[in-house]
Amino acid sequence: MTSPFFEHIDHLGIAVANLAEAEARYTAMFGVEPYKREEVEREGVVTSFFQVGPNKIELLEATRPDSAIAKHIEKRGEGLHHVAYLVKDIRAEMARLREEGFQLLSEEPKPGADGMLVAFVHPKTAGGVLVELCQPKS
Ligand code: ZN
């Protein structure tokens, strides 16, 4: 049996202090360069994406001190920031999860990096893991 709601893990998000250094480190690890670098102004981050088989790895560097990534690095240092799952209908999933008692960080999905609509589930209600739901913008 597989999840009837989540398609698969789309990507892992990793908070980094210096994107250029992290890109070099992960390029050495994966043997491939990132396929995309993209700033998400609203979230105060610049992101870089690697393709690893069917999955993606997203590196995130803060562009402002008030961004969630800056706060994460201040509190916990660099490392795993979120796990992102691809869903078919992000609004329906947000409603379903709310119904199940999960706390969503926004009322509506927001435009994220890599052509996605995204929404986050608070780690307090998800076993300490920040969960991202994502659906390609149509
Ligand atoms: Zn992400």
Q: Please choose, from the candidates 88, 108, 69, 78, the residue with its C-alpha nearest in 3D space to the C-alpha of residue 7.
A: 88
CATH assignment of 6-136?
Answer: 3.10.180.10
Q: Mean per-residue pLDDT for 123-136?
A: 96
CB 49 within 8 A of CB 36: yes
Distance of CA 103 from the midpoint of ligand 1 (Å):
18
Which contiguous run of DSSP H or E holds residue 22? Answer: helix 19-30
Other Cβ atoms closer than 10 A to 137 = 12
Residue 20 pLDDT level (bands cut at 50, 70, 90): very high
Distance of CA 125 from the midpoint of ligand 1 (Å):
18
Say whether pLDDT at 138 is over 90. no
| Strand 79-87 relative to strand 131-136, pairing | parallel
Distance of CA 98 from the midpoint of ligand 1 (Å):
20
Say whether pLDDT at 129 is over 90. yes
User: pLDDT per residue over 90-126, tens digit each?
Assistant: 999 999 999 999 999 999 999 999 899 999 999 999 9
Distance of CA 131 from the midpoint of ligand 1 (Å):
9
Distance of CA 71 from the midpoint of ligand 1 (Å):
16
